[in-house]
Structure 1
């Protein structure tokens, strides 16, 4: 027997014990009703008991994307093979277990998970659920993240529940826009989806600390970096340690430092060495060989070569200039 349920502008159909969500009812002209794909994604997920749709994006005009906020019943079964990108946000903790013999019940915390085409979701829930789903067609995801949606993408969030406040905020913004009737049309929803997928891809690839690295270093991070480099000039400077100090990967550290100073890490360190050498040369207290070691150069000839390339004069000529200026200032003060 086939059962049809219509909730919040969406049909659900059940013919063999499981509800298929996101379908429309079509008259098959033979006196019966069949279930066929609707305008939104069909077969979004499959559950044994009919869920309650609290909110959907049906009629929003979004391109190849669909949002639903669903309240599931206790003692329910999900048995579904995903055919598109799915971001699932669990709004509340609940108890569940895999559909395996003698599987134990565990507590699933609130958070999000990602399912890709081909992933299976097979579990039983003992408590009621309240989840938000964002389904996006593969081509749309690939356009947004600018790479193929292949195996390995979003692996950090597949099969595990991860608490990401940013995702909570973006999904809440999507729900709010839909609840208000999308006053700006589909622009707000499309922008939020693009932001969400871009952010999620960046976190999955590089970690949360790298998301802010699209621009320059924060002033406090630059100050800490300068202090670290200056303290370590005469020792062993590590590029890994420099990146770790400001909480970035090597790739993002290079980009952020260049955006801040216009220099590569190597150029930045050399500039700090030259600045120290200039100060020590001007003081006229140490010989050039000692200054070279104190500034972290391999030897005096190395310092001379880099100094000339940077300052346009040799260290000896620079010392003469500085000594001459100092004497002129002393004479002028008499």
Structure 2
């Protein structure tokens, strides 16, 4: 199944609204919103499928309670693949659309923390805390303090005790502090935009051209550099203005146009030679990018 986000048209301004009234709603088993709108906590049971999260002004922390699925998470041109298990944590940046895909059911606790709260903590600190949470965004991680607090927050939210809101507020603050301190230990995202060196960009471009008719991943390209998959995606986009996927697709279309004008191969053969899954795949992408079909483009070039 696939869930579509409605945030693109401004329907939702926070994860609390999205979980309550969006397409996620059937999978939400419990939802608690902080009275001061600094956080929202949800218990979700996720079936296998694709689940996009819209860009929200909140950091999104997820704790796996049950399940053993494979996760594919992509955002800002980067892609992370990992296996989830109980106790695993992963964190999405604020103001960033994130696409998730899992191949099996999962039960997890989600905590959304308002970015403004994180900014206040950072401004009040006596040390120079990072503006982001570093590689916590780029990989799953385990933290016994965060895990214990999120599970206790879930218990308190379910109890609906008069002191629950006080505990949830304080627990959110402690989790935020823990993650900010942890991101000081793990290498953080550079302040200046990271870019690929000329040599790395040349190696990546050469591999793309040589293997344009094959299937390869961001991880395959990242291995040509010293960067993680996540940092590679950002560096590539900063260097070229395109995500790796967008760049590869542009090169495939360019090669298809060249072959349509000069080769006697059938359109199906050209599709496979350019790395498309089928002739219909080429037709769909070509019409979207060029404005006409491969057949008409070939006829016009020959005339």
TM-score (norm 2): 0.48
Larger radius of gyration: 1
Relative to total residues, which structure has the larger strand share, 1 or 2?
Answer: 1
